[in-house]
Structure 1
Amino acid sequence: MTGDFPYWPAAMNQKMAAAYCGLSVDLFKEICPVRPLKYTQSTWGHRYLRQRLDEWMASLDPNVKQSSVVKFEDFFSGGKGAA
């Protein structure tokens, strides 16, 4: 059964991290607050931890009451919330 699902490593490059989050690379770069680990000075050596991505995505869940959560739509409205 495990062959039916994609394998997501613990640390992913930007393209893979964006796909993991279900976002385009451009949108991922714009809204993702998770900062990559820097194995090398080159961006080719930057990796996003799957655990941090999971935490960020869980914080966006509208079904969970959290006072310090930045809502997804706030990224597009400059933090002013929906009008």
Structure 2
Amino acid sequence: MTPDLPYWPAAMDQKSAAAYCGVCVETFKKVCPVRPLKFTESTRGERYLRQRLDEWLASLDPNKQDAAPKRKFGERLYGGQSEAGRA
């Protein structure tokens, strides 16, 4: 049986966005660079896109690894030169 997971809408108010990010509203206001969409002129009409929050959170990951540069076949065998480069 799968546990019930919380439902997170695609666009969230500030309180929900802070909870989604795992921080209190005050911390969220201080650290989150994501700007809300304005559906109305009121701050009650502002919504944070879940996708943008995910992108921001992923950018904070200290474990994120860049892809290793790809080498051409044989580069390592011939001291960093490909067969064509040695000719």
TM-score range, shorter chain: 0.7 to 0.9
Q: When you count helix as a share of all residues, which structure comes out higher?
A: 1
Give the TM-score, by structure 2 length: 0.71
Alignment correspondent of 2:14? 14
Q: Does 2:44 correspond to 1:44?
A: yes
Counterparts of 1:1-83 in structure 2, within 5 Å, are 4-65=4-65
Instruction: State the one-letter code of the partner of 1:19.
Output: A
Could you list the runs of 4 or more consecutive aligned residues of structure 1 that deviate by over 4 angstroms after TM superposition?
Answer: none
Which whole-Å deviations, capped at 9, do the CAs of 1:13-63 have from their partners, x for residues lacking one?
000000000000000000000000000110000000000000000000001
Q: What is the Cα-based RMSD across aligned positions, in Å?
A: 1.5
C-alpha separation in 2, matches of 1:42 and 1:3:
37
Aligned residues: 66
List gaps (5 residues or longer) in structure 2: 67-87
List gaps (5 residues or longer) in structure 1: 67-83
SS at match of 1:4: coil
SS at match of 2:64: coil
Instruction: State the one-letter code of the partner of 1:26.
Output: E
SS at match of 1:17: helix
Indicate the percent of aligned positions where both proteins have the same amino acid: 73
Q: Quote the offset at 1:64 in angstroms.
A: 1.2
